[in-house]
A and B are shown apart, each in its own frame.
Chain A
Amino acid sequence: MKAIHILGKVAARAAAAALVAFAPAALEAQVAVRGETVYTMAGAPIQDGVVLIGRNGKIERVGRASEVRIPDGYRVFTGKVVTPGLIDAHSVVGLAGYLNQEHDQDQLERSNAIQPELRAIDAYNARERLVEWLREHGVTTIHTGHGPGAVMSGQTMIAKTRGNTVDEAVVKPVAMVAMTIGPEVARNFNNRPGTTPKAIAMMRAEFLKAQDYMRRQQQARDGNGPSRDLKLEVLAQVLRGEIPALITAQRAQDILAALRLQREFGFKLILDGAAESYDLINEIKAAGVPVIIHPTMARHSGTLENASMETIRRLRDAGIQVALQSGYEGYVPKTRVVLFEAAMAAAYGMPFEQALATITIDAARILGIDDRVGSLERGKDGDVVVFDGDPFEHTSHVCTVIIEGQVVSETCR
């Protein structure tokens, strides 16, 4: 009998909250997961496979059930399909809340179009309902933070979808600096800047200031360096390649502008959205830039009016590193779920394992966290999802979600 989750059931929600709240106790348990098919995302899928997670929350062993004995005392979960915990390569949840009221929308600060110094950790709400929603649907890692819509909106972070505080959740407190090239910036900032060329001139000026700041720091002797500037400190880290720039650009001309900036200043660029990237495959490939593609089901309007459900497949076929995202939603639904977005990428012709990779190992690589998550391999985090059927079938359910050995969801949804 499938357990059906009714969203409005207070009891179910309280139970879920309790599971997370009492996490430390659960850490004691050792967990084994056995699946008819285990997609490790590190080599071919294993038929009748087993994943063992140790006391430290790390994966101890992965292999065929005939070869890996489940030790006594391990809590065992079984299901049809087992995958690594899913990764949402770009979201705003935790800063953006599901009520969509002023007090729970922290993804975009509108006082100034350039504020790279804003930290995601200062606004992330680990108990946000949308974080819980993603977790229930198998998403265990999110790259979230300041959203698109400003010339430079602020920093992003990487978190596990668990914990009651940002400190319990965080994997990487500063992941990228979020920037946007496109007409939405003028709308968000009352025409300051009023056009895209003006916004790009402002970005260039800001990077020049950061270069100067770095020069003055290098030339400083005996403490006579420049006084600290939080904004320029972050941009200097971007220029030194320590933090990538995540540039949201949907239209072809805006994507080209992002590549042009990257060439001028030499920072590490990750393209975001990139609806019309199918027209710039050679340019993107030549630049060696990874792309976090807009959700497959993103509304095809505004700057996404020419978006295509096949973009991700076409880019990947061309050898460009790609991942999927839930993106930013301003209204209903308040977030998307990468599981469903990858499913639609598969429905529109992407081979199953490639589509699964866009929300597991390929996403981990682009985010620079593939040493910890994205595949089921010895030594990596014990983040595992168990499905009762093909993960991409809408009629299948996510039945068990495990983060670092801790069972965070046990109801089929």
Chain B
Amino acid sequence: MRRTVALLSIALALAAIPAAAQERPVAFTGARLLPITSPPIENGVLVVQGGKIVAVGPAGSVRIPNDAEVHDVSGRVIMPGLVDTHSHIAGASGGDRSAPMHPDVRVLDALNPLDTGIQKAQAGGITTANIMPGSGLLMSGQTAYVKLRDGRTIYDLLYCKDVLTEVCGGMKMANGTNPIGSSPSPGTRAKSAAIVRNKFVQAQEYREKIRRANGDPSKMPARDLEMEALVEVLEGKRVVHFHTHRHDDILTAIRLQKEFGFRLVLQHVSEAHRVANEIAAAGVPASIIVLDAPGGKLEAMDISNANGAALEKAGALVGFHTDDGITDSRFFLRSAAIAVRYGMSREAALYAMTMAGARMLDLEDRIGSLERGKDADFIVLSGDPLSTYTRVLQTWVEGVKVFDLNDPRDYLYAVGGRGAGVVAAFHHEGMEGH
């Protein structure tokens, strides 16, 4: 039975693979290329085929196949598709208030691939996103690593091919004030850490039982969805994405990571400027958010747009995220520009928008740079990525154009206007007389 389901899901996944994988090569000529892992190339040539990058280099040094469809993009800039390490688009939700930790709950069971948030993210140049459940619980569930293809079902968007046998994302955790509340939520920070530690100790014991069973089905512990997911965390197959703001909460997250040895990506790190050296020393990557003003919640009141600069200086791996709806995916490129305004280097900021995010999601072999053999995920910009005036003209995912500013429908999602709304929002107008 289980096998049938697995086969079925593979079949679905295969059927869904976008007609993409074009056979005929496509070449882009004349643009300034920002490969990220190597220096910019003026008047570059990018050749893609079968959903992959097959060549990238300066004009003259790259052979354009005779049968290639050639796009002259002179005066434009091409860079890798952006990686958003923390987003809530497409109707993300996770665990409920019945318990403080929900390692068994999957965000992918909530996602609607037809949500206009996907189109808007494509319009912002985002090609890969880590869609997460919220931060109102210590562990709100499993996140989903998605490729922003034009999809009909969630299977069209996921990186994993089989949701039943593969790890399809990370694990969302949170500390500080968001997960604190009335029972069964913890009431204090120390209790928060204790609940998490107890759960991980249980998972360690569960893993030990599996080890002792040594493959003997009669000795295996009963299946436990929570424990299975946490064992994936303990074994480093599932990365923990940890929402944390205050400097002491950041250190608590690192302390838990040291104790249980899971792989950790810090998310938000509003006070990173206070503990940048500790973050760097722990070798833990940090994904930051850039905001137009401080405040709004107590633990984020000392957020600084100089976090990028501080973490870069300390030597930590820095990425960016939208936290969409906190910031809009269409303005994601602003994050890099504003981080640069506050002292981050241009190179580190562009790396943070792409390659750093790819590394945080374990996808650096497939995405994050313009390199031969990587997925053909890239964006065509009207100008420099750090300029306010630059527009995303096209977004390509695996060799397929998923966004084109010249397309009226795409234009609507990029700019807004009548019909661009989220899935029709419900406006409460009262129920008198009903």
**Chain A residues in 8 Å Cβ range of B297:** 100, 331-332
Q: Are B337 and A98 in contact (CB under 8 A)?
A: no
Q: Are A98 and B420 in contact (CB under 8 A)?
A: no
Residue of B nearest to A329 (CB): B296
Contacting chain B: which of A159-167, A365-373, A392-400? Answer: A392-400
A301 to B429, CA, bound (A): 16
Q: Are A195 and B328 in contact (CB under 8 A)?
A: no
Q: A5-B342, A183-B427, A302-B425 are in contact. Are A99 and B387 (CB under 8 A)?
A: no
A307 to B342, CA, bound (A): 30
Contacting chain B: which of A49-57, A108-116, A230-238, A341-349? Answer: A341-349
Q: Are A297 and B293 in contact (CB under 8 A)?
A: no
Within 8 Å of chain A (Cβ to Cβ): is B295? yes
A194 to B292, CA, bound (A): 34
Residue of B nearest to A8 (CB): B302
Q: A306-B416, A308-B415 are in contact. Are A195 and B429 (CB under 8 A)?
A: yes
**Size class of the contact patch on chain B:** 35 or more
Contact indicator per residue, chain B 282-300, by CB within 8 Å of chain A (1) or not (0): 0000000001111111101
Within 8 A of B (CB), among A285-308: 297, 299-303, 305-308
Residue of A nearest to B334 (CB): A394
Residue of B nearest to A98 (CB): B295
Contact indicator per residue, chain A 70-110, by CB within 8 Å of chain B (1) or not (0): 00000000000000000000000000011111000000000
Within 8 A of B (CB), among A314-342: 329-337, 340
Q: Are B328 and A300 in contact (CB under 8 A)?
A: yes
Q: Are A393 and B304 in contact (CB under 8 A)?
A: no
Q: In the complex, how many angstroms separate the beta carbon of A399 from the nearest chain B beta carbon?
A: 12
Contact indicator per residue, chain B 15-44, by CB within 8 Å of chain A (1) or not (0): 000000000000000000000000000000
**Chain A residues in 8 Å Cβ range of B341:** 394-397, 413
Q: Are A187 and B428 in contact (CB under 8 A)?
A: yes
Please report whether the interface of chain A is mostly helix, strand, loop or mixed according to DSSP.
loop
Q: Which of A4, A7, A303, A336 contacts B294 (CB 8 A)?
A: A7
Within 8 Å of chain A (Cβ to Cβ): is B202? no
Within 8 A of B (CB), among A345-401: 346-348, 390, 392-397
Q: Are B298 and A99 in contact (CB under 8 A)?
A: yes
Within 8 Å of chain A (Cβ to Cβ): is B361? no
Q: Are B388 and A7 in contact (CB under 8 A)?
A: no
Q: In the complex, how many angstroms separate the beta carbon of A88 from the nearest chain B beta carbon?
A: 12
Within 8 Å of chain B (Cβ to Cβ): is A207? no
Within 8 Å of chain A (Cβ to Cβ): is B386? yes
Residue of B nearest to A128 (CB): B295
Q: Which of B274, B388, B416 contacts A393 (CB 8 A)?
A: B388
For the complex of A and B, list the 4 residue pairs with the smallest distance between their C-beta atoms, beginning with the closest. A98-B295, A194-B430, A305-B421, A332-B296
5 contacts between A and B (CB under 8 A): A8-B274, A99-B298, A191-B430, A331-B326, A335-B292
Name B's A-contacting residues (CB within 8 A).
Answer: 271, 273-274, 291-298, 300-306, 309-310, 325-326, 328, 331, 334, 337-338, 340-343, 386-391, 415-422, 425, 427-432
